[in-house]
A and B are shown apart, each in its own frame.
Chain A
């Protein structure tokens, strides 16, 4: 890394450096003098600043129902996009000079939909043996692997997610392992040739953990764990080791600081300068778990049952970390108070249940009851089909709650698929609601997004039109040439980008 870099270079490098940093970065050291040989100090957690985007871009989206997911629904309003961001929302906004106007009378505008739980790209379609990259099912602790390293940006499922209004999704490793590995948050941008092009810049990484039946089933006849006892022992062992690992690194940083402070002083009487301390060995898995203990990596915990989620909350408290969101959490409604008290989100389905023993108690009112208790409800998909209509799933969960008398506004339910998942992914300051200053991640719906008949007509990511129903429908490489119409002459131009 050059000594002086411009802000633009920082932005360009960020996707890559972010990916590399976690492997290279040591535990947060005490303040120390600059020493050439020391490992790069951990950057103080700074808010990522989004690039301004194309300065020429000025878009006025006019006359839509605007559902902000920020507490307000406008029956008719305009939204101004400048560069990558929303700069104004209001009734009858003036048309700025040079702005393109998009008339949206009768349409509904919402934030881009965000899914906290997807395996798109790591279980790419078609489901070929060669595409099976979602579970590093070789050991119960593979905290060192990263889903981003397996993300296939040519997965045709990405196109379908985008067409369903998805702008951002967390790609998680599967749930075979107690510690499945690090997750990555990506955008559904067309034309990505590698993870770096798709990655949501500056988004924190996550750690996928899994409770219950899956690790038992996968390892029961192998190395273990064989029972839920074994599962929890495995979590304890992992975090205890991470704590000790952190201690080794803390000590190294202290020793290094002391050494550095002394090394330019006159040599001691015996004339011998102490050797520079050598750094301890890096361990990829422990780096991840230590990152969790330091609060830098957000925990996403696949966990169905109320008793197990409660145990996990206790375990997290004893080791001093937070669980950002439980996933699946079919019994979240039984411990909604505990989720609220610990500020733990519940990423749930609207109605999946019964496919395994730990999912037997799923109910339609799950999200609504979590919401009512004051905890963050999130509707997630865990499915390349479900991800295409999270709006409908949120609608089902909302109506189920209303039918039993729980107060849920449309704005509340919209948050379940926008602002709350953004929070769970650590990007809620930048996306997830329609507010000036936030990224212009937007969906234009043909009507009320909570209607079964509504479809996404336009999708914008950071101000860029990436999908326009019937006009701009980008496809990934894998999808090309496998449809007879692709082979007709003259060949249709394969659409890659949205608006020029």
Chain B
């Protein structure tokens, strides 16, 4: 995890350096806006804090500075704040970790149907694209980012799509405009797919994955031979085999998209065979094999409202999938699959899981600490604890309830802006008077 730590250290130790005086050139104001605000200190006192791991602190103290939580505790922790600290009274508010969107193309896709705006997939290539790195393609200027932030989403596992192995997943914090700093942890996971992802058959897909993983396993010892062209052809390009090494060493997770119960079991077998640390994504029929998933400690990343038999692979889809998995002791992660534009509806999904039997605390964990654990970034993300990245939401009420809204969203200890492309459009059209036509031309009837 050294890479991760390094990345994080860079991120966390990045209070804005005083900039040298800019030369006498008129700069667009946007350039100034991108200078990161100094992260803190912020002191929030009196809120009902849901830590993310199930713990609740009714009368809490949360301090953030330099992008991390510095103090987290109950009323007795007030003593740890500096005297005269400018505390913000958040009594009556609910505090949670920032929401964490798993398995999303956020930042990779601006408009789904416009190919020129999509960078989620290496197209027209072999099915193994392990070296395709989402971190290198994410746009910090994506209009989608602020739209999610204002509703409490602060982190996301940005995941490439397509093929059998799609590529490398990056965890980002949602700091719009911060091109250098957006990525919190690159290459935390490799995204793979079961089912009919290859060769028109799930068996072919599985065989392909085995072939690649087997070759990736022997690749380090054969590297020199491969370079000298003294090796049999391997199942993928050396860069792709290289990119699979962290997964083989359990330093990176393999996310496996699978819905049918048989595919999920195949994923578990594959994980055992190659010693992989996996997370199942989709998991429509995961409830059928919940006990095995729990025993293998494999989290399931699912969208609770996806209850339809959309294909013969999801015949067993049901609304209480999350509840049944949780009952069996498996880790549930809730996300929005395939719609990065509305990742903000994470909390509605969590609420629906509660309506169908998932305990409330488990539902909150499923959109905060759960995903952080699933992607192996829970040392830094997912809950409100001293030392972790200060991603926090102050809610007007129950965060899973439709009547509530995010009052203030802190990303890396800084209160996020409340303006989005959508609020600008809204405000432009709130009053239609300025849009009334200057001349009124009568509608001419078409000729008979």
Residues of A that sit less than 8 Å from B by CB: 125-128, 156-157, 160, 213, 217, 236, 239-240, 243, 314, 317-320, 333-334, 336-337, 351-357, 360-365, 369, 373, 384-385, 388-389, 392, 395-396, 399, 403-404, 450-455, 479, 482-483
Contacts and interface: CB of A to CB of B under 8 A. Distances in A.
B116 to A, nearest CB: 10
Candidate in B111, B144, B405, B429 with the most chain A CB atoms within 10 angstroms: B429
Contact of A403 (B345, B348, B405): B405
Nearest to A452: B351
Contact of B342 (A320, A351, A455): A351
Dominant SS among interface residues on chain B: loop
Nearest to A364: B422
Interface of B: 110-114, 143-144, 305-312, 314-316, 339, 341-342, 344-345, 348, 351-352, 354-356, 400-403, 405, 422-423, 425-426, 429-430, 432, 435, 443-446, 448
Given A126-B309, A354-B111, A482 B402 contact: no
B316 A483 contact: yes
A452 B348 CA distance: 7
B310 A127 contact: yes
B274 to A, nearest CB: 30
A350 to B, nearest CB: 9
Contacts of A160: 307-308
A215 to B, nearest CB: 14
Contacts of A353: 341-342, 422
A384 B144 CA distance: 25
A355 B111 CA distance: 5
B443 A156 contact: no
Contacts of A127: 310-311
B309 A453 contact: no
A22 B398 CA distance: 52
A455 B304 CA distance: 14
Contact of B403 (A240, A373, A450): A450
Contact of A157 (B308, B351, B354, B355): B308
Given A363-B425, A395-B402, A354 B341 contact: yes
Given A160-B307, A388-B307, 7 more contacts: A126-B310, A336-B432, A356-B114, A364-B422, A373-B432, A389-B352, A451-B401
Nearest to A356: B113
B315 A482 contact: yes
A452 B352 contact: yes
B315 A357 contact: no
Contacts of A384: 308
A156 B344 CA distance: 29
15 contacts: A125-B310, A126-B309, A126-B310, A126-B314, A128-B311, A243-B448, A334-B432, A334-B435, A351-B344, A353-B342, A356-B113, A363-B423, A364-B422, A453-B351, A455-B355
Nearest to B349: A452
B398 to A, nearest CB: 9
Contacts of B426: 333, 363-365, 369, 404
Nearest to A362: B422
B338 to A, nearest CB: 10
A477 to B, nearest CB: 13
A392 B402 CA distance: 7
A213 B113 contact: yes
